[in-house]
Structure 1
Amino acid sequence: MHTDTDLIHQKNVWVLKMFACFFAIALVINFISNGSVTGMKPLIGFVLLLMLAGFVKSHRWPFITMLLTIGFVFAYLHILISNDPSVVNYIFLGLIPLLSLFYQSYSAVILSGVLYVLSGIYFMFMYDKTVFSGIVSSRDTAYILLYDLFILLFSLFCTYINKSLSARAELSEDRLQAILKSVSVGIWSYDLDTMQFEVSDGFERITGYTGEMFRNSPSCLKDFIYQEDQHLFQECQKEMILDRTSSVMECRVICPNGELKWIQSRGTPYFNYTGNLVRLEGVIIEISERRQLEETIQFLAYHDELTGLPNRRQLSEKFAEYVEKGIQPLALMFLDLNNFKEVNDTFGHDAGDSLLRHIAVKLSSLIRSEDMICRLGGDEFVILLKDLNEESVLKVVERIRTSLSEGYNYLGNWIDVSASIGICVSHEGKGNLDEMIREADASMYEVKRGENRSYRVYGEPNPVS
């Protein structure tokens, strides 16, 4: 955002250009009408123009340069009127108040207005070759002076209105920028004529890419989209360019530092009066936190929060899938840790949680990828096995018991680990998960009571020893 000093300097540059153009045009007109330019004292005007150019080029004291600009224009017009004292030339003094309005500065307006009023007084009452001699009456003179005062008041009023509107616009812009910064919003624009991609500061804050980076390397526009999401980028382009409609996409971008972020991009095509597409514009919003939250919610919907194992819901869906496909046999293990309460009482609940995570890793390493282990809650786990007969299932049970018997070292404290495991096997390629869990649970309690009954066959009334 430009400072007031920078804005005044830019306006000084434009006024200098206008002054130079006016000086050149005046020379041409005078040459055409008089056949020469000697009567205009062009050398003085040229010197004033060079002096003003020196002040503007130095970029120092822009405010003083502004006041000098008005003074130089006033001096040049006085030279013009003194050389040719006519009403037409006097009218040119009205350019000074108009020039001051360009600056939207009270100082410039007051200076130009006072100079304009004093000029009127001077040329009507003090100048020996009066501009208005024999042309205007005393009443006309009063009207001219009132007109000069009106120009001064009108210029002040216009400046007041413009500064008030500018202040409101700047306040609105500051508020908008604050809002855009707080919600991580970036603005982008792609000009199809110049093939230039321009971005806002918010875009740079989100992605790390500047407009200069896109100008120097046009391929950045595509490369910063994550590889797996580039088809979304192409689809978005199709919607805006070919379908001529607005487009919304959510994709991942790779920042220059390698960080991966989620963004939502909303783009809109713009057309000229002939209906031709001229540019694409839109905004991006960083949605990394929202996507992370969605992924967390999605994960927790199917997984246990403590161990990361599948939960009962995912187990049910996997079991239903196997039953629907007619996969048989299906085996269900119900595993309950022995003396787990003593671990919590002796070492604390943090130790118990750490042990459960350790057990989850152990069990996951002992089953196949097509099988599933799930934590029901507390110290209870269920393992679903497919395409294994009773003999193979019992081998898995022994492998689990052997692995768990190695114990667990928690912060230098050795914890003995063992588990009671009950099994339920279905040979029909069908079954009810809740009933099989109850059967396996019952078998587990029989093992815990030392009745040496490790598993049941689903649908048989009596347990198998």
Structure 2
Amino acid sequence: MHNQECEKEIAYTVNNETKYCNVHVFSVENENHGELIYVAMDDITENKKRELELKEVKERLQLAVEGGNIGIWDWNIQEEYIHYNKNWAKMLGYQVSELDNNVDTWLELVHPDHKKKALKDIEDHLSAKTDKYYNEHKLKTKSGDWKWIKDIGKVTERDEKGKPVRFVGVHIDIDQEKREAEKIEYLSNHDELTGLYNRRYFNEELKRFHNSRKYPISIIVGDMNRLKDINDNYGHSMGDRYIKRAAEAISDSVRHEDVVARIGGDEFAIVLPETDYSKADDIVDRILKRIEEGNKTGDLPVPLTIALGFETTDCNNQNCGKKNIKNCFNKADKKMYEQKFADRR
């Protein structure tokens, strides 16, 4: 006796409904009866429909990934292997073939300022402290620039002890969106002409410093002299040059941690944390000397001058007031006007 078997999947229509089945054909050689043919059919319609639905979903997902420029990473934690798709590499300027399939590939590209938080968010999710992993950070592109990425992931498989086995996620390019938001935030806090902080930001900083540990705090208030005359005689574009020149002289005379703001058309204010009365006096002298040096260039029709007043709060100097930022600002402002009117006599 000799047996042969073949299997084939077919589709047919019953009452305008497509059905699927597997057809099994058996050929059996029999000494007495010759070749005998047996046919068996298995209805696989439901399984086939699910297979086609999954295929359709997968195709749609693939289109969405490619059209949305979404990068996909798939991390097999136990085998220490990560698959990066071509979009993941492309958004950073790479080819997939240029990237090693391990976590260090990603880690080495993360901005140093963002690395600690990103790793903590990953660890929190791996240890099941969070339902999903979410982090926004900058990655270094192949050209050396930094690009903002939204990174979202989830552990999809754990072993019998609850340890993560598979961790899957996506990278979304949010660089333009993030930079637009940063630009809006910058403009809301800065003066457009000088690049210094504006009055709104300055007032918020005064509130913040009030309960800080940065005492003694000194405040300098400045007001340019004769700006209206300059605008009237030489035009507002020339007046803007004077304002920017004053802003540069002030900025170049203070530290990075000091807060310098343009709080009015020709008014400036500076908050100097951890600065006593004597040091504030030195900074005022420094500003005036820079302005004087700038006037020597002769590129302004008349010399730039500015009245400056300052005060310090919460120190041992007899000229210092109590721990009161607002009162300190008012005293500095008053001294500035005293200086301004004194110069006019």
- Superposed CA offset, 1:148-193 (max 9, x none): xxxxxxxxxxxxx99x989976984575246413xxx211112346
Match of 1:289 among 166, 176, 185: 176
More helix by share: 1
- The answer to whether the aligner puts 1:387 opposite 2:276 as a matched pair is yes
Structure 2 CA distance, aligned partners of 1:394 and 1:236? 47
User: Does the CA-based 8 Å contact 1:180-1:202 persist in structure 2?
Assistant: no
How far the C-alpha of 1:368 sits from its partner, in A, is: 5.3
Note if contact 1:327-1:429 (Cα within 8 Å) is conserved in structure 2.
no
- The match for 1:234 among 94, 104, 119 is 119
The TM-score, its normalising length taken from structure 2, stands at 0.65
Q: What secondary structure sits across from 1:336 in the alignment? A: strand
2:74 to 171, 186, 189: 189
Distance 1:272 1:368 in 2: 52
Which deviations, in whole Å up to 9, do the C-alpha atoms of 1:181-224 show, x marking residues without a partner?
3xxx2111123465432222321232234443334676424322
Separation of aligned partners in 2, 1:422 and 1:221: 52
Per-residue deviation, residues 6-28 of structure 1 (Å, max 9, x unmatched): xxxxxxxxxxxxxxxxxxxxxxx
Q: Which residue of 2 aligns with 1:5?
A: none
- 2:64 aligned to 172, 176, 196, which one? 176
1:186 alignment partner AA: G
1:340 pairs, out of 206, 222, 227, with: 227
Cα 1:300–1:435 change in 2 (3 A) is: farther
1:203 aligns with 2:91: no
**Cα gap change, 1:449/1:192 in structure 2, threshold over 3 Å: closer, same or farther?**
closer
Name the CA distance, whole Å, in 1 between partners of 2:115 and 2:60: 36
Q: Closer, same or farther in 2 for the Cα pair 1:416/1:223, shift >3 Å?
A: same
Q: CA deviation at 1:232?
A: 3.4
1:261 to 135, 147, 151: 147
Distance 1:370 1:340 in 2: 29
What amino acid is the match of 1:288? D
In structure 2, how many angstroms separate the alpha carbons of the residues matched to 1:165 and 1:369? 60
Bigger radius of gyration among the two: 1
C-alpha contact (below 8 Å) 2:149/2:172 kept by paired residues: yes
For the 8 Å contact 1:334–1:440, the answer to whether it is kept is yes
Number of residue pairs matched by the alignment: 304
Offset, 1:417: 0.9
Measured in 2, the distance between the counterparts of 1:173 and 1:370 equals: 49
| Ranges in structure 1 where 5+ consecutive residues have no aligned partner | 1-31, 35-87, 102-160, 454-465
Using the TM superposition, give the Cα deviation of residue 434 of structure 1 relative to its aligned residue in structure 2, in angstroms. 4.4
The CA deviation at 1:396 is 4.8
Question: Matches of residues 303-314 of structure 1 in structure 2 within 5 Å?
Answer: 303-312=190-199, 313-314=201-202
Give the Å deviation of 1:266: 1.2
Cα deviation for residue 378 of structure 1 reads 0.9
Counterpart of 1:120? Answer: none
CA positional deviation for 1:362: 0.9
How many percent of aligned residue pairs carry the same amino acid? 24
How many angstroms does 1:277 deviate by?
Answer: 4.4
**Residue 286 to residue 446, structure 1, CA distance change in 2 (3 Å):** same
CA distance in 2: counterparts of 1:246 and 1:323, whole angstroms: 37
C-alpha distance in 1, partners of 2:180/2:196? 19
Q: Which has the higher contact order (CA 8 A, sep 6+)?
A: 2
1:281 positional shift:
0.8
Is the 2:196–2:260 contact (alpha carbons within 8 Å) kept by the matching residues of 1?
A: yes
Q: String of CA shifts for 1:338-392, please: whole Å, max 9, x gaps.
A: 2223444555544433432332221123345675533212111123453125xx7
TM-score when normalising by structure 1: 0.51
1:198 and 1:394, CA in 2 relative to 1: closer, same or farther beyond 3 A?
Answer: closer
Q: Work out whether residues 332 and 424 of structure 1, in 8 Å CA contact, stay in contact via their aligned partners in 2.
A: yes
Q: Is the 8 A contact 1:263 1:284 kept in 2?
A: yes
Aligned pair in 2 of structure 1 residues 339, 265: CA closer, same or farther (>3 Å)? same
1:355 alignment partner in structure 2: 242
Match of 2:263, SS state, is strand
CA distance in 2, matches of 1:291, 1:452: 49
- Cα distance in 2 between the residues matched to 1:195 and 1:396: 57
| Larger mean Cα displacement after TM superposition, 294-303 or 336-345 | 294-303
CA contact (8 A) 2:83 2:101 kept: no
CA distance in 2, matches of 1:316, 1:236: 31
Identify, as 1 or 2, the structure richer in strand.
Answer: 2
Q: Tell me the residue number matched to 2:41.
A: none
